[in-house]
Amino acid sequence: MKKINKISTKIKLIGALLLFLMVSMIGTTIYLNQQNIKDAMIINIAGKQRMLTQKIAKNVFYIHYTYNQDFYELNSATDEFIKGLNILKHGDHDKGISAVSTYNISKQLIEVRKLWDDYYENVQNFKLLTQSYSDRDQGEKIVKSIYKNNTILLDNVDKLVTMYTNNSEDKTNFIKSFQYLAGGILLIIFLYSLMQLRSIESHVDIFLQYSKTLLSNKDTSEFKPIKLEAESESEIIEVGDTINCFVQKINSAMDYSNEALKQSEYASSKLEELTDEFGAIIGELKDTSLASKHLNNSEDIMIESTEELINSTKKLSNLKLELEKLTKSCQEIKS
């Protein structure tokens, strides 16, 4: 994996991770909370189914043993049970309730539906027998069958309610686990950000220390290049290379001026020696007028050349002084 050594890339990466994690946390939490609200409505409907089976059985017993033919509560309870069972199976678009599509719940709903069909058929037969005053013994058998099937139906409805409750709790536990995981990732990103900031700060401190060294350095004969760590950010390395290039140019110019100054001083001393020798020769040949004339001309040329070399030496000295002033300018401004 390629190591990221660019400050801007590190900042963008950290920002993108934080943004993605925060959006994911907020979006997932809102979605699952909405689902939990709907699950609570479904659990309430399933729990009410359990109560309705008891209510139906209670009305059947009451009508049978009191010879009453008021089926209003019985019909209301059966209609409400059928409506609730359809919502559990198919959902309710108006209330925003979706059918739970897990395999175990779907399988249990089919079982409850089969038991309810038999249960509902017995209730309808009971109503017909009661209204027609038919065989009392047959009615007693139907009542006993309703009592028996009611217990089985109630147990299966209880099982269905438990499944819905467990499904809702699983979602709640998922929210908690996701929040813990997201919190841990946020902590890791925070620590990573802190480490990267400290790394960038340490690399910038190298420039600060180097600048202070330049300002406090009294010896301007040569400057040492700045040394950076190999794992420094690309922007830091680029700035360091630029500074080192500038320092190298200053050192090269100063070395060149020093060397030129030495060569000029050496040439000047040699010319002085030649002048002395010519002076001695002129002394020996002063009686010869023609030779004296040529030697005087040679002496003039030699003196002129010496003066030009002296001037060149002075110019090179001035160049060196200007370079020293350039390198000391920061110190002078700072003071």
- DSSP letter string over 130-149? HHHT--HHHHHHHHHHHHHH
Task: Please give the structure tokens belonging to residue 66.
Answer: 């009191």
pLDDT tens-digit profile of 178-194? 878 888 888 888 888 78
The last residue of a domain, from among 199, 225, 260: 199
Mean pLDDT across the stretch 307-335?
A: 61
Residues 176 and 271 in one domain: no
Task: Give the residue numbers spanning the domain of 94.
Answer: 7-199
Does a structural domain hold residue 162? yes
Residues 264 and 185 in one domain: no
Least confident of 164-168, 230-234, 246-250, 286-290: 286-290
- Look at residue 177 in the predicted model and tell me its pLDDT: 86
- Three-class DSSP category at 36: helix
- Look at residue 56 in the predicted model and tell me its pLDDT: 92
Most confident option among 70-74, 130-134, 222-226, 231-235: 70-74
- Comparing CA positions, the residue from 330, 325, 323 lying closest to residue 212 is 330
The last residue of a domain, from among 199, 217, 246: 199
Does a structural domain hold residue 1? no
Residues 250 and 329 in one domain: yes
Residues 113 and 177 in one domain: yes
CATH code of 315's domain = 1.10.287
- As a whole number of angstroms, the distance between CA 75 and CA 172 comes to 37
Rounded percentage of the chain residues whose pLDDT exceeds 70: 57
More confident residue, 240 or 56: 56
- Three-class DSSP category at 232: coil
Residues 33 and 132 in one domain: yes
Residues 19 and 155 in one domain: yes
More confident residue, 29 or 302: 29
Residues 45 and 180 in one domain: yes
What is the reported pTM?
A: 0.57
- Helical ranges in the chain per DSSP H: 7-66, 72-90, 103-132, 136-216, 234-284, 289-334
- Look at residue 334 in the predicted model and tell me its pLDDT: 47
Least confident of 39-48, 68-77, 125-134: 125-134
Domains held by the chain: number: 2
The last residue of a domain, from among 149, 173, 199: 199
Mean pLDDT across the stretch 3-9?
A: 65
Residues 185 and 48 in one domain: yes
pLDDT tens-digit profile of 90-101? 888 887 777 776
Does a structural domain hold residue 206? no
Residues 26 and 162 in one domain: yes
Distances (CA, A) of 233 to 15, 190, 196, 239: 18, 20, 10, 10
More confident residue, 24 or 1: 24
Mean pLDDT across the stretch 51-74?
A: 88
CATH code of 110's domain = 1.20.120.1730
Does a structural domain hold residue 183? yes
Residues 45 and 174 in one domain: yes
Residues 12 and 91 in one domain: yes
Does a structural domain hold residue 291? yes
CB atoms within 10 A of CB 26: 10
CA-based radius of gyration for the chain: 52
pLDDT tens-digit profile of 88-131? 888 888 877 777 768 899 899 999 999 999 999 999 988 888 87
- Look at residue 1 in the predicted model and tell me its pLDDT: 43
Does a structural domain hold residue 140? yes
- Look at residue 39 in the predicted model and tell me its pLDDT: 81
Residues 179 and 288 in one domain: no
Phi, then psi, of 97 in degrees rounded to 5: -100, 125
How much is the mean pLDDT over the chain?
A: 75
Does a structural domain hold residue 225? no
Does a structural domain hold residue 281? yes
As beta bridge partners, residue 92 has 97
**Backbone φ/ψ region at 190: left (φ over 0), alpha (ψ -120 to 50), beta:** alpha
Q: Which residues contact 166 (CB under 8 A, 6 or more apart)?
A: none
